[in-house]
Amino acid sequence: MQESRLAKAEAKLSGWQRVLAWMHRQQQLGGFVEIATRNVETNLAFSTPVVIEDLDAAFVFHCVTDCNIRALELNEAHLEKGLLSLCLNRFRNTTETPPEDWEIAAFRRALKVFVLKWKRFDRAVQIVTEEHFSGMRVLFDDTTAMLEKDNEDAQRLCDLFNAANRTGFLCRAHLAGRNRGVSASLHAIGSRENHVPCAR
């Protein structure tokens, strides 16, 4: 009886709204990785089909898939994250040989690129959620947790860089005028090439 009522209610929805309803049901079944793994292992035997009726419905469906896959791709950047951590630890712990100017400049550029991946994706997810998903989350619980953890890790690297910057690993008089860290330009992502938008 309840399923019949739900079916009648869903029949009144537009194409993209039906995809949103399908997405919501999928999110109740588990994480994105869990569902995708189960679908592969069972050859889609227990998957719930979704009907794509128009371009709006197709857009919503592909947003769900692409955003969650992108979150997984970003989460796999363990090597890049590890290399940045190693470089930063060397800068912070060096005593006899301070980092060269080009090393600091290269690290700042690498950190900027690294952090902007998550900042821009996080912003894109917010826009999709607010403007195309009627406030419903585009990410599943597991990919949401991944994105939050990755953002925290990126912020931690920036905080460590800024703290080390303030306490003097760039301890050369001729760098004093440029020793500004990376926190000043978060409010203007990408607006100035010589800043790294990292801080909150």
84-126 pLDDT, tens digit each: 888 888 877 776 777 777 888 888 888 888 888 888 999 999 9
Nearest to 23 by CA among 128, 151, 148, 149: 128
> Where do the domains of the chain lie?
2-188
pLDDT band at 179 (very low <50, low <70, confident <90, very high): very low
Q: What is the mean pLDDT of residues 145-173?
A: 76
The DSSP letter of residue 95 is S
- Specify whether the backbone of 181 is left (phi greater than 0), alpha (psi in -120 to 50) or beta: left
CA distance 196 to 50: 42
Q: 33 falls in which pLDDT band (50, 70, 90)?
A: very high
Q: Greater confidence, 130 or 177?
A: 130
Measured distance CA(114)–CA(47) in Å, rounded? 36
* Residues above pLDDT 90, as percent of the chain: 22
Average pLDDT, the chain: 77
0.75 cut: is pTM over it? no
Residues 116 and 160: their CA atoms lie apart, in Å, by 17
Choose among 200, 178, 175: nearest CA to 189.
Answer: 200
Tokens 């994480």, residue located: 31
**Considering only 104-108, 147-151, 164-168, 174-178, which range has the smallest mean pLDDT?**
174-178
